[in-house]
A and B are shown apart, each in its own frame.
Chain A
Amino acid sequence: MASTHATDTNYINEFPGIWSWLTSLDHKRIGLMYMISILFFFFVGGIMAMLIRLELFNPGAMFDGNTYNQVLTYHGAIMVFMVIVPGIPAILGNFFLPLHIGAKDVAFPRLNLLSWYVFMAGAALAVSTMFLNKIDTGWTFYTPYSLKTGTSVIVMVLAAFIMGMSSILTGLNFIVTVHKLRAPGMTMGRMPLFVWAIYSTAILQVLATPVLAITLLLIAAERLFGVGIFDPALGGDPVLFQHFFWFYSHPAVYIMILPAMGIVSEIITTFARKTIFGYTAIAMSSLGIAAVSFIVWGHHMFVSGQSEAAGVLFSFITMLVGVPTAIKMFNWLATLYRGSISFQSPMLFALGFLFLFAIGGVTGIMLAVIGLDVHFHDTYFVVAHFHYVMVGGTLMALVGGFYYWFPKMFGKMYSESAAILSWILIFIGFNVTFFPQFVLGSMGMPRRYADYLPEFTSLNQISSIGAWMIGLGFLVALYVIIQGLLKGEKAPDNPWGSKTLEWTIQSPPVHHNFDTEPIVTAGPYEYR
């Protein structure tokens, strides 16, 4: 179905001027505003990552211990709270969730705009601490260190609190949108899997984030008023903080990865030109992962001093998360079977996701095995594992999703060869950076070390070289975006031959998305 819209009017050029953007209630414009802000934060967090690897190429040459800890904290905090958690839902979710279900906008457009302002306020507060008194607690704010260190912890936890508020509002908006605004005929069972993934994520955002908010406020209260909650000197319990923190932050791990899985489902079906294998299983496994993720937090605390019984129980439940994850992996593999597979850049990123996520997944099982985790806990093995999942998984999917939807978002095509080059650099660079870290972890190198023993030198240097490849790859990706925006050829409405609703309208879409309300008569992946 081609668009019959004959004019050149679209959501980008319909209302001119910066003010029309800053007050826009259009979910597509808000998605782009998130994109610009999050790309900027990603750049800042990426610089921090480069500085970390530069320092570890030759320890002591650049930073003292304090400076290193600050750089490490900002890398973690920015990447988690300002890039990976909001990344896919706020940018691509905002833009494509309403399009996917045939809606004109999200359920609460004003709330959506407010979410962006709240997010930016929190982010500005977080970044401001870089110019005040840099924090050095790590992104986890573990007590009692975070209660004792003389840095601007209160400002930073308030910033995370405010950004959490934004996350809750966005999640709430998406849940209501999915339930109330689906086009006629768009049953829950016909929703694209991206929508299922964003929906599961939204539930996590709404239910888990308040716990983080309360925990961060307790830290602020303890620092400001000396209320003894976590500090043993005041009669508190520092391990209690870890329980509270991971009660949010483990579900947050799935807030980061579930949307990525949604993107992968979209890309694989499109570029294999084949219906998804096991739609129901993939959709339900998203919900299953979301549900189980609430009761696995203790696997971050196997050596914290929690009881043996608790540790074993958490180890068992964590194994259960592995099952729906394995289901997804095998279903994607089965989708490729007898497909018609083309190797355009979004597909390369999706296949890269499968590759890296498989390694991230099996090493996750190793870490869930309690007797083995005792050795790996807080070593570089953990660092390698979560980067395989968060960067190899979420960021690969995010970049793949950008390339996939770029023609729809901007109505332009980008340079395919440059996009493939960015994939090669990121994919190879990623493995060069992080695979050696599994080995470092096995050898026993602890994480968050500004300096290391001589036997760890060679692997650290290899890892640092890989980091520069990744950095270069992302710069090429930036070039792809800018070159596409400035000089890209006009994109057709459906360049990849996809079947979901967003490809039935013009590129870029008009302000109100659909000229006539679509009536849905089939599932999202009707490739026959």
Chain B
Amino acid sequence: MTGFSIWWAALVNTAMASGGSFMPPQGTAIAADVDNLYRFLLIASAISCFILLGGMVFFVLKYRRKTANDKTPYISHNSFLEFLWSFIPFVIFMIVFVWGWRVYHDMRAMPENAFEVHVVAKQWAWDFQYKSGKTTTNEFVVPVGMPVKLIMTSKDVLHSFFIPSMRIKQDVVPGRYTTLWFNAEKLGDYHVFCTEYCGAAHSQMLARMKVVSQEDFEVWLQENEAEMTLAERGKKAVNTLGCVACHSVDGSMKVGPSWKGLWGAKAHALEEGTVDVDENYIRESILQPAAKVVKGYPKGAMPPYQGQVSEEQLQAIIEYMKSL
């Protein structure tokens, strides 16, 4: 249970840092607005529940049955009271409605000078395309203090782009573009989740968002792939292609087998027979995964990558696997 107590301590920290609301760290000014609204609702709800449930507990204790023949007064209704408990909730609902509308309006009003990034969602990875021509997968780097607008679409099914710390979320729909914007105020690393159910590896469809300084961002945009080692390029390719959603590199079980210790394995068990893991086996397993299926894994879970991977990428990936 030590793991449990560590995460318990982390939870308490989250509670303290968020002032008891358990909302993630605020990454934008709008996040602070959302949290203020939430805090108001929490307090209003606590008071309502206290009146309702406190009243209920008080009444059931005070008016508990004393004798088998208790008589009760016949109270059919009270128009004034009923007006009060219709009207007061209505007023509160209208306040939070208008407040929520205003916050939402700020979220949706796209600034004109925003830095645009194009996003393509696919089962099960996020592709980002920057105007400089740089492309990344599951690695979303943005400059601090500058409005960033995302123009998003999907290759296959519905996905949803969610950055908890920015308090924003938008479904990503195939066949059309949806947009989103935020202005990150603090440097740091943030989670990006897919929040629309999209199949087997839905919960692995995560991206890492890095908010960096404007200077670092410029440097990052210019980073050149030619300076990478072959294995580094392979690592980048498996991220780009989304392989890591289903294959771990640390031996843990995901939708597909882990790559750790895979390279060079002799007599690797398949559904039918065995295989020695060499360059040609890996090549075949990427391009036509159904040809030789590892024992215990479903056939057809992985789509064939024939035509989607370049020869250079294949060699880089094989080199990367050797390094694991």
User: A: which residues have CB within 8 A of B?
Assistant: 60, 64-66, 69, 136, 138, 142-145, 148-150, 232-233, 237-239, 272-275, 277-281, 303-305, 308, 311-312, 315-316, 319-320, 322-323, 326-327, 329-331, 333-334, 336-343, 351, 354-355, 358-359, 362-363, 365-366, 368-375, 377-379, 439, 442-444, 446-455, 457-459, 461, 527-528
- CA separation between A378 and B193, bound complex, in Å? 11
Kindly list chain B residues whose C-beta atoms are within 8 Å of the C-beta of A331: 82
Question: In whole angstroms, how far apart are the Cα atoms of A366 and B35 in the complex?
Answer: 12
Q: Are B11 and A458 in contact (CB under 8 A)?
A: yes
Q: How many residues of B contact A (CB 8 A)?
A: 97
Contact B176 A305 (CB under 8 A): yes
In angstroms, Cα B204 to Cα A65, docked, is 9
Stretch from B62-70, B233-241, B279-287 at the A interface:
B62-70
Partner of B37, one of A66, A340, A371: A371
Residue of B nearest to A369 (CB): B100
Q: For A136, what are the chain B residues with a Cβ–Cβ distance below 8 Å?
A: 199-200
Given contacts A277-B77, A354-B53, A455-B10, 9 further A-B contacts (CB under 8 A): A66-B298, A142-B158, A145-B157, A278-B76, A320-B93, A322-B90, A326-B89, A334-B75, A378-B169
20 contacts between A and B (CB under 8 A): A66-B200, A144-B157, A145-B198, A148-B157, A233-B175, A278-B77, A323-B86, A327-B82, A330-B81, A334-B75, A338-B63, A362-B45, A362-B48, A369-B96, A370-B104, A371-B34, A374-B168, A446-B162, A452-B203, A458-B4
Q: Known: A323-B90, A446-B193. Contact between A305 and B171, CB under 8 A?
A: yes
Considering the chains assembled together, what is the distance between the CA atoms of A448 and B81 in angstroms? 43
Contact between B77 and A279, CB atoms less than 8 A apart: yes
Question: In the assembly, what is the distance between CA of A528 and CA of B70, in Å?
Answer: 10
Complex contact A308–B93 (CB within 8 A): no
- Please indicate the chain A residues that have their CB under 8 angstroms from the CB of B76 in the complex: 275, 277-279
Q: Cβ of B252 and Cβ of A60 under 8 Å apart? A: yes
Across-interface contacts of A239 in B (CB, < 8 A): 173
* Interface status of B164 (Cβ within 8 A of chain A): yes
Nearest residue (CB) in B for A355 is B53
- Kindly state whether residue B32 has any CB partner on chain A within 8 Å: no
B22 and A443 contacting across the interface, CB-CB below 8 Å: yes
With contacts A64-B255, A273-B70, A444-B162 known, is A378 near B174, CB below 8 A? Answer: no
Complex Cα–Cα for A447 and B169 (A): 14
- Please give, as numbers and ranges, the residues of chain B lying within 8 Å of A450 by CB-CB distance: 202-203
Instruction: Given A273-B70, A336-B60, A351-B56, check contact A149 B170 (CB 8 Å).
Output: no
Contact partners of A69 in chain B: CB under 8 A? 197, 199-200, 202
Please give, as numbers and ranges, the residues of chain A lying within 8 Å of B191 by CB-CB distance.
444, 453
Which chain B residue lies CB-closest to A302? B104
Q: Are B178 and A305 in contact (CB under 8 A)?
A: yes
